[in-house]
């Protein structure tokens, strides 16, 4: 992996500086693709998934270089989930055999998703603390596990993915600010109102006549 990072060192070179920290070309490209991806998700456009795949792989390399191992691992999972989500939006079906549509999770499903996320958070944080040199194991773990919840909800077109992303993005802003990834801080700060807008857009779809 160190060899891979060395080969990619030109892409990790600064494109410009912001607030005293370098912004790499890799981070800049990932920023643009990720922002485009969220806009496509808001509009329920399948193009969101290939954009998610590419941006996730770029962020994997960025976070690996910064020793944010939870976030780096998450990006690989995101890449795999992007392929799954792509298939779901193209071919996925609901339990009654209908094509996937924007819908709400049941009350039982919401409780289950919350409890699973809260249970996984300290477990991953403890693993990162004991098995890696991550400087922020629990801060790293929270958006990691919550993002997996959000990604599954998004892939199955559940409206509840959007409030999950609001929380993930707020925590991520603080995490990336600590690491000095200022362009990514801006990206996740923009994600917060975009997630709210996506929530409202999907609510309108739910309220529209079938």
Task: Round to whole Å and give the CA distance between 42 and 194.
Answer: 8
Contact 52, 82 (CB under 8 A): yes
Mean pLDDT (whole number) for 4-24: 65
Mean pLDDT (whole number) for 86-111: 92
- Alpha helices of 132-181 — where are they, by DSSP H? 137-155, 161-179
Enumerate the β-bridge partners of residue 16: 23
HEC string for 38-66:
HHHHHCCCCCHHHHHHHHHHHHHHHHHHC
Mean pLDDT (whole number) for 43-49: 95
Contact 35, 187 (CB under 8 A): yes
pLDDT digits (tens, 9 = 90+) for 139-185: 888 988 999 999 999 999 999 999 999 999 999 999 888 878 887 88
Among 20-29, 71-80, 100-109, the range scoring the smallest mean pLDDT is: 20-29
Enumerate the β-bridge partners of residue 22: 17
Mean pLDDT (whole number) for 126-149: 87
Mean pLDDT (whole number) for 80-101: 92
Tell me: pLDDT of 21 over 80: no
- Of residues 45 and 210, more confidence is placed in 45
pLDDT recorded at residue 41: 94
Task: Round to whole Å and give the CA distance between 23 and 92.
Answer: 38
């Amino acid at each position: 992996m160190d060899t891979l990072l060395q080969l990619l060192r030109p892409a990790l070179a600064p494109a410009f500086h912001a607030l005293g920290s370098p912004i790499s070309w890799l981070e800049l490209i990932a920023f643009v693709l990720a922002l485009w991806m969220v806009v496509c998700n808001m509009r329920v456009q399948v193009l969101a998934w290939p954009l998610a795949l590419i941006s996730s792989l770029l962020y994997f390399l960025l976070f690996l270089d910064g020793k944010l191992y939870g976030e780096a691992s998450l990006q690989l999972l995101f890449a795999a989930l992007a392929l799954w989500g792509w298939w779901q939006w193209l071919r996925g079906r609901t339990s009654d055999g209908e094509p996937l549509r924007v819908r709400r999770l049941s009350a039982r499903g919401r409780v289950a998703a919350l409890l699973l996320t809260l249970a996984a958070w300290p477990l991953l944080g403890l693993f990162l603390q004991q098995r890696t040199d991550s400087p922020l194991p629990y801060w790293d773990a929270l958006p990691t596990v919550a993002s997996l919840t959000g990604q599954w909800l998004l892939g199955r077109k559940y409206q509840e993915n959007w409030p999950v992303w609001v929380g993930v993005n707020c925590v991520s802003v603080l995490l990336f600010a600590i690491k000095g990834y200022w362009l990514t801080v801006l990206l996740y700060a923009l994600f917060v109102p975009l997630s709210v807008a996506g929530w409202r857009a999907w609510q309108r779809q739910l309220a529209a006549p079938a």
